[in-house]
Structures are given as C-alpha cells and as structure tokens.
A and B are shown apart, each in its own frame.
Chain A
C-alpha cells in the first residue's frame, strides 16, 4: 500500500530565503508525482507534475526533483516571498491506478 510522507509538517522562514520541501513515498512503482499548493479556504492548485521517466521540472522560482528509486521528491522554492505562504502537498499516482495518494502537506509561512 502506497504511503506518502512530507517533512517538515510546518516551516517558517524569512522572506528571501531559498527552501526545500521533502516528500517520500514507499512504493517506487509510480506513474507520476505532483506538487500542489493549497491556500486557506480554497481548493488545490497544481504547481508541477513530474512523470516517472523525468528527473525534474521547473516553473519560475519552483523546481521539483524526483528520485524514483529512493522514493523521494523535493520542491525547491527560490527567493521565497510572503505570497508563497500556503500548504504544499505532494501526491503520487501509481502505475496501475488512476488514484492520487496525497501526503499530509507542509505548511509554509514566509515572514516579511
């Protein structure tokens, strides 16, 4: 059974810092991995999707990497801003399922 873990559960950093969020999964037989952002009272917004054959994806100040063999992904946020404050969730889709399995998220606060 696939389990997804995100560390840390919460993170507070001053504005301008570069930071890394971690995601680990127990079953390496994944089809893809996705990072989402969730703002309070709102739904999830997809940030980056990495196919199992890819090593990383970049969008603006965000860079996500995937090491399928070790069951790990990282989301790197460069030059953080207060507007980046949100909960970041990673989710994996298995090879034989259309279901997304989510981690519990990392709650990020970027202080001005």
Chain B
C-alpha cells in the first residue's frame, strides 16, 4: 500500500512570496490533515478535511493560509504572502475516517528568508 505522498520535499522562498504544497493521501482515506511543525515543537493541526469538507480549521491563519480538497482526494495548502515565522515542516496525514489512526507523509520543509 502506497503511503501519503507530499511535494515538494523542500522549498526556499523570500518573505512576501507565495508557495503551495501538495498532498496525496492513502487511497480510500476519507480524512486528510495538514500540520505545521516548527523546529523543536510538536506538530500543530492547521486544517482537517472529511472528504471535501472542512471539519476543523480553527488554527489556520486564514489571512494568509488557504487549503482545498476539491475532489475529496488530494489537497493543496497555500501560503500567500509568506512570513519569516512560517518557516517550518508542513506535514500531511490521512486516516480511513474521523478518529481513526493517522498516517503521515514525509513533510515539506519550508524556509522563508
């Protein structure tokens, strides 16, 4: 079974630029999560989808971050414009359904200069 795929693996941008990350969950998984992990901290949930609907986006900075999962499969997370404090690893995870075990992708390491 293929795992959660993410791209790109690394990205370096200047502040005020925009960036997008892509995630393809495990086939058949209804629930998809985006986490932000700042160096030295644990992952923090940004947004959670159930199929193509948003379940929880309470910690998503909506003035600059957006995410979509239009067809209920893969998802994109966008930052526009980026700030220095957005430097982090962005992890995508998926699960068969709400409340079930989450499987994590390798993450995208973002550096904002």
Contacts and interface: CB of A to CB of B under 8 A. Distances in A.
Contacts of B42: 4, 89, 91, 102-105
Interface residues on B, range: 20 to 34
Main secondary structure of the interface of A (DSSP, over half): strand
B98 A43 contact: no
Interface string B67-78: 000000000000
A100 B4 contact: no
A58 B102 CA distance: 19
Contacts of B93: 43-44
Nearest to B38: A104
Given A89-B42, A98-B48, A100-B45, A43 B55 contact: no
B43 A102 contact: yes
Given A98-B99, A99-B56, A44 B45 contact: no
A49 interface: yes
A97 B42 CA distance: 18
A100 B48 CA distance: 11
B55 A98 contact: yes
B101 A43 contact: no
A41 interface: yes
A112 B24 CA distance: 38
